[in-house]
Structure formats: structure tokens, C-alpha cells
Amino acid sequence: MTAIVTDKDTSSADLDRLSAIAQDVIRLARAKGASEADVAASIDLGLSVGVRLGEVETVEHTRDRGVAVTVYFGRRKGSANTADLDPKSIELTVEHACAIARHTEEDPANGLAEEELLAREIPDLDLWHPWDITPEEAIRLGIEIEDAGRSFDARIDNSDGSAVQVGASLTAYANSLGFLGTERSTSHSLSVALIAEDASGMQRDYWYDAVRHAGDFADPASIGRKAAERTLARLGARSLGTRECPVLFVPEVARSLVGHFLSAASGGALYRRASFLLDQLGQPVFPSWMQIVERPHILRGHGSTAFDSEGVATRDSDLVRDGVLARYILGSYSARKLGLRSTGNAGGVQNIVVQPGAQDLRALMKGMGTGLLVTELMGQGVSLVTGDYSRGASGFWVERGEIVHPVEEITIAGNLREMYRNVVAVGSDVDPRSHILTGSILLERMAIAGEG
């Protein structure tokens, strides 16, 4: 068997090839009459190994390629993409994009980003760390993680398996303003899901770690043990009677609350008038002590990038300053629709940092006294138009700062506008595994519905 990323790192040559393809596409588009064009060409390579009950279950080798082109004829736009990097397919793809642009209508907001916003230098963000692991080694690692969980307690009597995932991604972006930028990054993860059973029934839970550099992984056995602890803690869960009470979100679910805020502050939702944050620029959205900052250049950060998907330079900037919505999240299209400037967020946000507080999860539980600790959320049930929020949840009932029993089959409901205003505290327990970096979040009050 072969490793997917061997000692011989070919990424430089691959990036050169993607750059050449990207520049060819721009030339082709101009030759076919496009006034402006941009293109992203990419290669993603991966190895994914699954282990279950001590034996390898799946070994998957992945290799995805793509070219996505957008052409503008004046203010008319057309897009096309292909997974085939063959010159003939690429030419056909450019023709498809041009054909579409012959039918779309003039939109004054269409076009490339303003030239002065494009990235001029591309700092090394330390994102390229190929993991030279063979499938055999990955299988052994998967077995070690799962074993640590299965041997933790006799009630762990089944497993959904562990997974070792290795990934590498290369991208070249070019546009007809002469911009050409390349980026390469790796991301790897370890995960395991276990099942425990007792007289009360079966429960499943999981744990994982995700990094840019395999050297940054937590001890593999600790991932298995943590999954086992979490699974066991759910045994005997029951519903709660309908009530209102404080709710504390652990970091891995707290980041979904931040994610809803990011979606509602995004240009696409705003110009469609489909956001509860419409007309809230400069207004208090969170309590006055809260700060949320975008930091695109964190070394080895999960969302780090030097330029956005339009080539616009990314930079540190406040999103929420002293609780006030300091800016929207804009690419150049949505910015023009709103009469604003791009914030370097075409394609989404980079690293979002919610300023942590001083208290860890235990201290936050003490501070909450009696309430619900949420560790998992289920289903959709969030309207960005109105901010109405109603989701399935599970976690733990807490009294006097201590866990009393696990909870399941309840919903938690409120309105995001009020939920954000009523944040009581952000924890110091920041979860580093995502581009949204937040600690636990304590809300003053939500409606709980259940049967009990």
C-alpha cells in the first residue's frame, strides 16, 4: 500500500499546474468575449480509515479535483464547473459559463472585487503539514483509539467505530484583474463513537480531535476515553417537565449559537431582508462586555486564509465591539447590494474569536446554580428571518452547580435576538477544533418543553 502524501511532496508542482490552468481559463474567457472572469482550481486528496470492533472496516482513498469559473459580460454573469481538468473539458466549461451569461440579466452589483482590495502579499499561515501515514498505520491508530474507549467500562458494549482522516487541499484562484493566489493546507482528524447499554437502554456518543498538523493531536487514547465517559454519562437520561430556566451550552454546541449570528450578519441574508439583524449595524446585539473578532491569520487556524474566495485580502477586524454589531460579513456582491465595501468574506468567515471569560465550565455551572447544561442539539428549527429558535436538545439537569441527571427528549426555545442580549457569561474553556473559537455560553433563560 502507498501513503497518500509520500516523502516526495509534489504540492509545489501541483500548485504550479493549478495556477497554469487558472490563468488559461482567464485567457479563454477573455477570448470568448467575457469582460471579466475569475476561476478557482483545486485538488483535494485524502485517506479515510474506519475501524470497528477492533478490525478495519473501510479504507477510502479520495482525490477530488475541480475548476469553477465565473464570467461576466458587462454586468451579466454565468458560472460553470467541472471535475475534469482535461483542457477540452475546461474549454467546454468556459463555454457553458458564457452560454449561461447570454441568458442572465444585467445586475449592477455583479463583478469582480475592487482591485485595491485584492491581497498583495500572501503570508505563510503554517497550514501545510502533510501527514505521512500509511493505511496500516492509520488502522493501528484507529484500533488504539477505539480500544481505549471499549476497555474503559464494561457497559461500553458496542461501537460505531473510530476514524482516522487525512486531508490535503491545494487551490489556485485567478481573476482577470491579474490576481493569482495559491494556497495549500492540510487537515486531519481522529474520532470515535461508542455505544453503552444498561437497563435504561442504549446510548451513543463520540469525541474527536481536528488539527492542521498531526503533531498537535491530543493523546489518541484520551480521545477514546473521553468518548466512553461521555457515552456512559448519558445512560439513564430522561425528559424534563416543561419550564423556563437558565441554559448553559458547552463550547461544541455554543459555537452553533455563534454560527447563527454569523449567518444573520452575512450580506446574503441581509440584502434578501431575510435576517433578524437587518438594520442592526451599530446597534447593541450582545451585552456590552462581549467582543467578537475575526482573526484570519492565526497560525494553523482551521479558518485561516490570506485572501477570500474573490482574492480580497483578509485582515483582523471586530465584528462585535462592546456588544455592538460593528460590521456585516460581506463579499463584494452583497456589499454592493447594500451600498457597502467588501469585508473580505466572500465564501464565508475565517477564524471567529469570541473573547473568553475568566470562568471554566465548573465555575459557570456553579454560577448558574439550577438549570440545563446542553451538550447536544438536534434538528433545524432556527429561522434567520425572525430569530425564532426551537431545537431538540440533550444534556444534564444541574442543581446547586452539580449535575443531577442526564436529560434527553426535550426542546429548548427562544428568540435569538433575546438570547444574544441575555448572554450571562462566556467560559474560558475555548474549543480549538473549529474556526469558531468560543468557550461555553450561559444564557439567562430559555423555554424547555418535555414530558415529565
Partner 1 sequence: MSTLISHAEHQLLRPGGLSTSDLDGVFARLMGPAIDAADLYFQHSRTESWVLEDGIVKDGSHSIEQGVGVRALSGEKTGFAYSDEIVLPALLEAAGSARAIAHAGANGTGRPLAIASAHALYPAIDPIDSLANEDKIAVLREVDATCRAADPRVKQVVVSIAAALDTVLVAHSDGTLAADVRPLVRMNVQVIAEQDGRRESGSSGGGGRYGFPELLRNGRAHAFAREAVRAALVNLEAVPAPAGTMPVVLGPGWPGVLLHEAIGHGFEGDFNRKETSAFAGMLGEKVAADGVTVVDDGTLAGRRGSLSIDDEGTPSGCTMLIENGVMKGYMQDKLNARLMGMAPTGNGRRESFAHLPMPRMTNTYMLPGERDPGEIIASVKRGLYAVNFGGGQVDITNGKFTFSASEAYLIEDGKVTRPVKGATLIGSGAEVLKRVSMIGNDLELDEGVGVCGKDGQSVPVGVGQPTLRIDAMTVGGTAV
Q: What is the dihedral of CA 83, 87, 90, 91, to 10 degrees?
A: -160
147 vs 429, which CB is nearer to partner 1? 147
Which residue of 35, 317, 383, 422 would you call a contact of partner 1, by CB under 8 A? 383
140-169 positions binding partner 1, by CB under 8 A:
158, 160
Asked whether position 315 contacts partner 1 by CB under 8 A, the answer is no
Asked whether position 260 contacts partner 1 by CB under 8 A, the answer is no
Asked whether position 14 contacts partner 1 by CB under 8 A, the answer is no
Which of 230, 188, 233 is CA-nearest to residue 207? 230
96 vs 213, which CB is nearer to partner 1? 96
Give least dist CB 294 to partner 1, A.
26
Give least dist CB 322 to partner 1, A.
26
Give least dist CB 123 to partner 1, A.
32
Which residue of 13, 61, 178, 316 would you call a contact of partner 1, by CB under 8 A? 61
98 vs 425, which CB is nearer to partner 1? 98
Which residue of 27, 30, 32, 65 would you call a contact of partner 1, by CB under 8 A? 65
Asked whether position 429 contacts partner 1 by CB under 8 A, the answer is no
Mark residues 263-282: x for contact with partner 1 by CB under 8 A, - for none.
---------xxx---x----
Give least dist CB 296 to partner 1, A.
26
Give least dist CB 80 to partner 1, A.
4
Residues in contact with partner 1, counted by CB under 8 A, come to a total of 78
369 vs 379, which CB is nearer to partner 1? 379
Binding part of the chain for partner 1, among 181-189, 352-360, 362-370, 410-418 by CB under 8 A, reads: 410-418
Asked whether position 299 contacts partner 1 by CB under 8 A, the answer is no
Give least dist CB 146 to partner 1, A.
13
164-203 positions binding partner 1, by CB under 8 A:
195, 201-203
Asked whether position 385 contacts partner 1 by CB under 8 A, the answer is yes
Which residue of 6, 10, 12, 62 would you call a contact of partner 1, by CB under 8 A? 62
Which residue of 80, 248, 290, 312 would you call a contact of partner 1, by CB under 8 A? 80
Asked whether position 408 contacts partner 1 by CB under 8 A, the answer is yes
Quote the crossing angle between the two packed helices 220-234 and 135-150, to the nearest 10°: 40
